[in-house]
Amino acid sequence: MDFQLVKGTHDIINKEAKYYSAIESLFISLAEVYGYNEFRTPILEYSELFKRDKNDSSDMVRKQMYTFNDLSNRSLTLRPEGTASVARSIVNNKLYAESDYPIKAYYLGPVFRYERPKAGTYRQFLQFGVENIGIDSIHADVETIVLSFRALKMLGFENLKLKINCLGDAESRNNYKEALVKFFTPIIDKMCPDCKERLKLNPLRILDCKVPEDKELIKDAPKMSDYLNASSKTRFENTKKLLKEVGVPFEVDEGIVRGLDYYSHIVYEYEYISKSGLNVGALGGGGHYDNLIKEVGGPSLAGVGFAFGIERIYSLLKEDNILPNIDDSSDFMVMPVGEECIDRAFIVADYLRMLGYKADSVIEKKSFKAMFRKAEKHNAKFAIIIGDNELKNNEVIIKDMHTQEQTAVKNKDLGDYVDNLFINEEHECHCHDHECSGEEHECCCGGHHGKK
């Protein structure tokens, strides 16, 4: 039987996984610099968490969720986003009661949407996101934008476009929705079936329609900016001013309405087109929400956040040849010359690992040539050769893979010798018996560790 990947899913393996980790680590460290704490919430949630409102108009909730009954007949959903789960977690753990506001969460993990797979669009994909909850302020809104903007810039995206829009408060949106209903009702029969439904559920969603003929009709629709009440307008003006002051360039795009129902006030998305013209859709997006925490059973607290799609970010970095540097090298490949040396090679590799070096040994009979090919494939800086003579003399031969220089080193001197080879490099102690101080020291595992 031929086992295929589930449509819309993909493996992330070997070198590619290293690039993903490098991207994710950058996001995590920046979020931590901004004072966000990690939230790891379950992938499985009760479906009602996402189907809070039977009139929800988002495609995500209406058409794209992986929902099924478990063996006890409970309806469960594989999370289609992280925001609702973070909101639920804050409410379930009563963080709103004890926390010093805002509550700042970041998360990373797989989310699931039944979308039509294409470049940059999967059915299981990774999101990194942050939520800033508890203080209804443009400073919280702008902080999430600055954080997301700087994260993408630090990855090397040059011609990044940040598009922002203001959906206003509930009063402004209701007035605008009324104007949209008035505008679209006479022409709705010319539009796609989805738009017909959107008109009933949430006419704002029509603005997001991707059908080319509909897009033409949408061009003449009323503009949100004409329906913002005074306080929403002032808030948006102040948000733009603060963004300028912190040096984040943006453009206002009234077409950005976002695909989820919970937003109000500022919403934003990142667009990036590769040098060759590849556009895989928004790299990330987010916005402000007023009612989500209340909708999941908590107090009335505002929030704001964004999520990035890691696959889209990776694919565009790759396309433009700007993937982050990853350490794809290893320190040592230990090579037994003959079967009787395999045990010693294995023990030496383990000793080096305990000293904190990346080491591997060959554990099957291989020719010299094949072992060197393996060392090259692993980008090993040094080969350690152990043959009958070395076994007899209690020594190893260390060969610098770059200069080809070879030195015989007594087993008892091996730790000091290899530490000297890496004299300017920092390495970590992997001995689990104690907390390694990071300072230079003789370790209980017999090794010599730390910064020199």
* Contacts to ligand HAM by CB under 6 A: 81-83, 113, 115, 120-122, 125, 127, 129, 131, 259-260, 282-287, 305-309, 311-312
Hey, what amino acid is at 379? N
Hey, what amino acid is at 46? Y
Find tokens 């963004």 and name the residue: 243
Give 59 or 390: the residue with its C-beta nearer to ligand HAM.
Answer: 59
CA pair distance 53, 75, nearest whole angstrom: 16
Give 148 or 232: the residue with its C-beta nearer to ligand HAM.
Answer: 148
CA pair distance 364, 380, nearest whole angstrom: 18
Q: How far is the CB of 110 from ligand HAM (least distance, A)?
A: 11
Q: How far is the CB of 30 from ligand HAM (least distance, A)?
A: 16
Q: Residue 308: which H helix or E strand, with range?
A: strand 303-309
Give 164 or 354: the residue with its C-beta nearer to ligand HAM.
Answer: 164
Q: How far is the CB of 449 from ligand HAM (least distance, A)?
A: 41
Query: Which residues neighbour 250 within 8 Å (Cβ) at sequence distance 6 or greater?
Result: 145, 162, 163, 164, 240, 243, 268
Residue nearest to ligand HAM (CB): 309
CA pair distance 420, 370, nearest whole angstrom: 28
Phi, psi of 33 (to 5 degrees): -60, -35
Q: How far is the CB of 113 from ligand HAM (least distance, A)?
A: 5
Give 121 or 225: the residue with its C-beta nearer to ligand HAM.
Answer: 121
Q: How far is the CB of 312 from ligand HAM (least distance, A)?
A: 5
User: Which DSSP symbol is given to 228?
Assistant: -
Phi, psi of 408 (to 5 degrees): -90, 135
CA pair distance 170, 198, nearest whole angstrom: 18
Give 289 or 351: the residue with its C-beta nearer to ligand HAM.
Answer: 289
Give 121 or 379: the residue with its C-beta nearer to ligand HAM.
Answer: 121
Q: How far is the CB of 442 from ligand HAM (least distance, A)?
A: 50
